[in-house]
Amino acid sequence: MGFGTALTKENCMIAFSDKAAANGAEDSSQSKKARVLCLARSDPFLTVEEIARAVGTTSRYVRTSLSEAGLTLTELRRRFVEDLRQRLREEFGADGPVPDLTPRGPAGSPADGPGSKPAVETRRLRVAQRVDADLAALLGVAPDTPLLEISRVRLKDGEPLYVNQLVTTRHVTVTEELLSAGDPLHQILAQPGQSGELAIVKRTVDIVPASEYIAESLRVEAGHPILRSSALIATSKGVAAAVEISYFDALRVRVELETAARLPVRVIEREAEG
pLDDT, tens only, 167-182: 998 887 776 666 666 6
Mean pLDDT of the region 48-60: 87
**CB-based contact 228:211 (threshold 8 Å):** no
Phi-psi region of 44 (alpha: psi -120 to 50; beta: other; left: phi over 0): alpha
Residue 138 pLDDT: 92
Distance (Å, whole) CA 57 – CA 48: 10
Strands (E), the chain: 120-130, 147-156, 159-168, 198-209, 225-235, 240-249, 253-257, 265-269
Going from the C-alpha of 143 to that of each of 93, 110, 147, 169, the distances in angstroms are 20, 42, 10, 12
Burial of 233 from C-beta contacts in 10 A (0-12 / 13-18 / 19+): buried
CA 88 to chain centre: 16
Domain limits of the chain?
Answer: 9-71, 96-269
End-to-end CA distance of the chain: give it in Å, rounded: 42
pTM of the model: 0.54
Range with lowest mean pLDDT among 93-97, 162-166, 180-184, 225-229: 93-97
Look up the CATH architecture of domain 96-269: 3-Layer(aba) Sandwich (3.40)
Give the closest residue to 39 by CA, choosing from 63, 28, 55, 59: 55
Task: Say how many C-beta atoms besides its own lie within 10 A of residue 177's C-beta.
Answer: 14
Cα within 13 Å of Cα(20), Cβ side: 9
Q: Which of 180, 190, 151 is nearest to 77 (CA)?
A: 180
Coil, strand or helix at 192: coil
DSSP state of 116: P
Looking at residue 225, its pLDDT comes to: 92
Residue 142 banded pLDDT, cuts 50, 70, 90: very high
